Structure 1
Amino acid sequence: MFCYGTLCYVAESAPALRNLYGAVAPGGYLVLGYVNDQGRATYQGWLDAPDDHPDESFDPERFEERFRLVVEGESTLSYRSIHDALGTWPRSFWEFTDRPDERWV
């Protein structure tokens, strides 16, 4: 199961996580890409100083509307919150896949 960049739009992350985790086939994985508190701070920084955003067409009002749940702290995840929702500790993506020799991002 793969969920990337979606949970930031969900106010109730814990039930969403449980539903996603429940859909994982036996022996499968739930792969998440989520906004954590560090991401939230970055988003807030862009809203506080929109001229610092790397995209010249950045629209802070649209961005704030789109990521309201993150900016307000209602939809950020941490290892602890994932554990609390699922009863198991999350693992790094790199624990079950091969890490490339060269940085790719």
Structure 2
Amino acid sequence: MTETHTALTPARTASLARLKRVEGQVRGVARMIEEDRYCIDVLTQLSAVKSALAAVEGEILKDHARHCVSHAIESGDAADQKAKLNELIALLAKHYRL
């Protein structure tokens, strides 16, 4: 189930800013490869990119729990609550290969 929102939450705005920085990091890594930079330096930068993406992923997951999941709980709608829980379980199972 996917939902779209019309206004960005502060957490999403911050995540978007982080992703723009990651985009710059990725362009920098591409430049390093074009310039035939030392492999360890490229790998170090790739590790930084992965860490930055993981931080964004964590923030979006927290935002989802704070807003979407709590809204489903507060609504009292059992079907929506079950759907949100199943989405989280599926996501975590895929992420952790459960």
- Normalising by structure 2, report the TM-score: 0.31
| Rg larger in structure | 2
Higher helix share: 2
Higher strand share: 1
Greater relative CO (CA pairs within 8 A, separation 6+): 1
